[in-house]
Chains A and B, each alone.
Chain A
Amino acid sequence: MTRITLIFINLFISFLSFGQQKIDISGKVINKETKEIVVHAFLKVGNQITVLTNHQGEFHLQDLPLGNLNLDISHIAYASKKISIDLSKDTIFSIELTPKSINLDEISIQKVGTTNTANTLKIEQRKESQGKNLAEVLADIAGVSTLKTGATIAKPMINGLFGNRIILLNNGTRHESQQWGLDHAPEIDPFAYQKISILKNAEAIRYGADALGGLVKMEPQDIVQNKLVAGSVNIGANSNGRGGFINTQLEGNKNNFSYRAGITGIKAGNLKTSDYYIGNTGKTELNGNILLQYKKNNHKIDLYTSHFGTELGIFQGAHIGTKEDIFARIAYGRPFENYDFSYAITAPKQTVNHQLAKLGYSYQIDNNQKLETYYSIQKNHRREYDLRRVQSDNTPMADIVLTTQQLEAVYKNRNTKIGVFGSLQINNNTSGTGTTPIIPNFDNHNVALFASHKINYGRHYAEIGARYDYKYFDAAGYRFAHDQLNSDGSTPQYLLKDRRDFSNFSGVIGNTLSLFQALTWKSNLALAWRAPSASELYSDGIHHGTGTYEIGNINLQSEQGLKWVNTITYKNQWLNLNADLFGQVIDNYIYSQPNPDAVKQTIRGTFPIFQYQQDDAVFYGLDLQAEVQLTQNWDYLLSFSSVRAKNTTKNSYLPYIPADRVQQAIAYNFLLRDNNSSYIKLKHQYQAKQSRYEANSDFAAPPAGYHTFDIIANTTWKTQQSRTISLLLSIENMFNTAYKDYLDRFRYYTHSIGRNTAIKINYTF
């Protein structure tokens, strides 16, 4: 942390009134390193007054009482600071703020727009979760759950919704991968983003109509401006899986050019539950990213490229056949075989590569107006391997390439935003797999227009926005004609060609009321829609991971969701409270449900049929997050997540909805020296049993609730050259508790992972 240097550049007495004991202060906020002015910095006086620096970085506060004045200064791109001044006369002074560097820095709850609230991961949470995948990194946020396929694959779930209903915003671009698969994890390297936030309302206007569940926003911070070379090195090791990771980031600036580059490598072997190894659960990952920036006058050009590459092993005991196999494993409670530790990754496995290139240009027309544009292209190449009957196991069962191009232009001024967005998406199956692809080749093109406007009234804000989307979908692929037979008894195939159009309006209306200085109420009502995905429309085949036969439904209509999020934020010197109360109705909610009267008879046995269908649904719940400063050294953190979901058409519960969860932590913060900050934290998580469940709708009833405990110790040292080194030691699931999680699709076969001891070292220069 950088200390505030308070420089009194002038002391004048003016308009001193002996009869009026009030003081005026004014001045400028400037960048400590470049001496540039800092626009739109927040200055908060005690708990009562907040002012914003103007476009010249100036501030002015009037009628302040004599005596000690506590000022909080914050800005998104700078480290927040507190200063204390003894006021005896009118004063003019400058405040210097230190830019946030490549450190993983953030603030906890941050205003986005006017009526939307972003839950941003804190610096401690980011450090504690280094080396984990994106979904696990996000799991500390109230309302965010993790949908797992075994120990290595995890997808984020927001308020009970997941997959295509959540937009992953990767450096301003929608991350486009094959999110339709429950066992397809997002191809994101968390190290590449210094700020990761969750937005729980639909955010349909700005980022696209699909985000019924919410948005995961991943952003880099501004590149450091005063150095040619700065950066960080992060390394860590885990006992469970005997794995490790290394990440290096470099960044710098010279004249008008800036750069940032990073590389991450991860390697791990078989993971272990409380008392046995889970076979074939290793992973390797190699990721890289480069950001180049050119700024001159009012122009700014960004070029960003990234590569994500992973190979994931999938527990062999979970890729099995008929429901008899599944029931045998459920009855046994754990794998029949005993596995040893190994780094080897064999079939079944996934190899996934994702490349992104983005070219952005922005032009600051004047102090009030800006034009932003970007073009991006992404290529997602997914190969899935299984134990094959005829071909070599090295021949993928599925080999799919998804290419997406996006183009966007946005004009914005202080209160209004108008934009146009277009995307071209092409999905191709690579031939030679020896299996009929579960989804066909398709084109998926989208054009959208959107506009939003903010209205200030007093200390309050209102927001209104609308978006129109047109989507063109053209699919072609060979499908089975199950109702026909060839003369030799085989099932014939036919070439399916299907074109369809979707168009719809989305909208948002929101309001923010500052009830008083410490209490804010934000209310946001958003209408969003989502066209059915290719898998929901056309899938046709055996899903080995679940022993089910999945059939798409070409009659599916678009989902339409109306979500109302009310956020109460209360903040004072010792309490920071954030509560999200949400309700959402979704018409034509698409889900996959077994039909107990229908089975698929194959020569390999009888498989239950899961067919995509749609009904109306309702979701509602409460997310609560509180930070309490008990004393100068002790902090307490509480997080509570609760969601209820029902199929209102059939008056039944929906599957895979998370049960209530409580996370709490108590931390002791202390200094070993003046240039040191340290803490010890004890975390507890209670996951309740899901009791809102339709009997016989799944192979096994939801497992029991469970408690886990983690302990974390961290110490950070800062040198005089502003270099920092941190050492973090943690023990996760310290009591080695054996448990199964309802949202883990491999809970039929194995327990979740057991104790893990980790060490992480972070060096920033």
Chain B
Amino acid sequence: MKNYILLALISIFTFSSCTKDDPTQELDQEQLNSATLIFTPVVKETKDGKATYTPMQGEEAHSIKFEAPTYLPPVGTHLHLHVGHTYKLELKTTDFAGRASEQTFLNRPENHQAFLLGAENTELDFVYADETNVGITAYITVKQEASVVLNYVMRHLRPNVKKNITAEDWNNTEYTKFTGDNDLDLKFEVHFVDEDHGH
């Protein structure tokens, strides 16, 4: 009997370490490191009820980058978007290791949808450019002059929530009722101006 007890004790001490493991550094794959919103002027043409968008020659793209620690653009940063123009809105993100990561939103379309808050339907038109309404690419058309703070929110939705969201919810200020959390929450200042606006 004593031998069995001794054997059990030896086994326990042999197989159970008496000190912690050396910690392993994790690459935080869930965290995003930076985000960039790019606005490229495009020409919108509608044929048979279907819109097509082609790059506008000679026009430069505007971009805003959001970085740590504030994740806000530098003070005073603002965009001028012209009334009557259409822009291709693209999201680029990097993960913790600096790798491009915007594709991860498209990989799970049932869990992601972007909202662009801060503008009324009378001021801005927003069309999701991907079939699944994720919104890492979209086309926006400026409809009238305004100065607004836009808020691009990439919502990480809980299962079965996205079926209750339509494309018309793109600027729904009650987006929090679509249960989930935010993968991105980006705020920036924009002026919708006439084409002859000097500044």
**Could you list which residues of chain A lie within 8 angstroms of chain B, going by C-beta atoms?**
294, 301, 316-317, 319-322, 324-325, 328-329, 332, 335-337, 346, 357, 359, 375, 377, 387-391, 397, 403, 405, 424, 426-429, 431, 433-437, 440-443, 474, 476-478, 482, 485, 488-491, 493, 495, 544, 601-606
Contact = CB atoms under 8 A, between A and B. Distances in A.
B27 A428 contact: no
Interface stretch (B41-49, B64-72, B122-130, B131-139): B64-72
Contacts of A377: 12, 16
Contacts of B34: 488-490, 603
Contacts of A405: 12, 16
Interface stretch (B18-26, B52-60, B75-83): B18-26
B68 A485 contact: yes
Given A434-B26, A434-B30, A478-B25, A322 B182 contact: yes
Contacts of B68: 485, 489-491, 603
Given A488-B33, A491-B68, A603-B31, 9 more contacts: A321-B180, A332-B177, A337-B158, A357-B12, A426-B17, A431-B26, A434-B27, A443-B19, A603-B68
B12 A325 contact: no
A187 B111 CA distance: 33
Contacts of A601: 69-72
B24 A319 contact: no
A495 B12 CA distance: 31
Interface in B82-113: 94-98, 101, 104, 108, 111
A144 to B, nearest CB: 34
Q: In the A-B complex, list the 9 residue pairs whose CB atoms are closest, starting with the nearest.
A: A321-B181, A605-B185, A328-B176, A431-B24, A434-B29, A489-B67, A441-B20, A336-B177, A390-B29
Given A336-B179, A391-B30, A375 B20 contact: no
B5 A359 contact: yes
Given A337-B161, A490-B96, A426 B19 contact: yes
B181 A319 contact: yes
Given A405-B16, A490-B98, A495 B156 contact: no
Nearest to A605: B185
26 contacts: A316-B159, A316-B179, A329-B176, A335-B179, A337-B160, A359-B9, A375-B9, A377-B12, A387-B159, A389-B156, A390-B29, A405-B16, A428-B21, A434-B27, A435-B26, A435-B28, A436-B28, A443-B19, A478-B23, A489-B67, A490-B96, A495-B23, A603-B32, A603-B185, A604-B182, A604-B185
Contacts of B8: 359
A26 B25 CA distance: 74
A605 B20 contact: no
Contact of B181 (A320, A426, A482): A320
A477 B72 CA distance: 30
B23 A476 contact: yes
A302 to B, nearest CB: 12
A320 B30 contact: no
B181 A346 contact: no
B38 interface: no
Interface of B: 1, 5, 8-9, 12, 16-35, 66-72, 94-98, 101, 104, 108, 111, 156, 158-161, 164, 174, 176-186
B26 A478 contact: yes
A474 to B, nearest CB: 7
Nearest to B27: A434
Contact of B179 (A301, A337, A346, A606): A337
Nearest to B98: A488
A442 B29 contact: no
A373 B47 CA distance: 87
A433 B185 CA distance: 24
B132 to A, nearest CB: 16
A605 B26 CA distance: 23
Contacts of A357: 12
Contacts of A606: 185
B30 A490 contact: no
B70 to A, nearest CB: 6
Contacts of B12: 357, 375, 377, 405
Secondary structure class of chain B's binding surface, majority of residues:
loop
A317 B23 contact: no
Contacts of A397: 30
Contacts of B186: 603
Contacts of A301: 1, 5
Contact of A390 (B33, B67, B104): B104
Contacts of B31: 603
Contacts of A476: 20, 22-23
A403 B177 contact: no
A477 B25 CA distance: 8
A591 B83 CA distance: 54
A435 B24 CA distance: 11
A568 B182 CA distance: 55
A538 B97 CA distance: 24
A474 B174 CA distance: 47
Nearest to B70: A601
A321 B182 CA distance: 6
B185 A434 contact: no
A94 B69 CA distance: 83
A165 to B, nearest CB: 24
Contacts of B158: 316-317, 319, 337, 387
Contacts of A336: 177-179
Contacts of B25: 478, 493, 495
Given A336-B177, A336-B179, A601-B71, A322 B185 contact: yes
Nearest to B161: A337
A604 B29 CA distance: 14
B21 A441 contact: yes
Given A435-B30, A478-B26, A426 B69 contact: no
Contact of A428 (B20, B97, B179, B184): B20
Contacts of A325: 176, 181-182
A485 B69 contact: yes
A137 B144 CA distance: 64
Contacts of A603: 31-35, 66, 68, 71, 184-186
A297 to B, nearest CB: 14
A357 B29 CA distance: 37
A430 to B, nearest CB: 9
A477 to B, nearest CB: 5
Nearest to B177: A336
Contact of B71 (A316, A388, A602): A602
Contact of A544 (B16, B161, B181): B181
Nearest to B95: A390
Contacts of B1: 294, 301
A491 B70 CA distance: 12
A477 B94 CA distance: 25
Nearest to B108: A389
A163 to B, nearest CB: 22
Contacts of A359: 5, 8-9
A482 B68 CA distance: 10
Contacts of A442: 20
Contacts of A426: 17-20
A474 B20 contact: yes
Nearest to B66: A603
Nearest to B180: A320
Contacts of B17: 403, 426
A161 B178 CA distance: 36
A390 B30 CA distance: 6
Nearest to A477: B23
Nearest to B160: A337
B178 to A, nearest CB: 7
B16 A403 contact: yes
A437 B72 CA distance: 27
A403 B49 CA distance: 66
A493 B5 CA distance: 46
Nearest to A434: B29
Contacts of B20: 426-428, 441-443, 474, 476
A402 to B, nearest CB: 11
Nearest to B30: A389
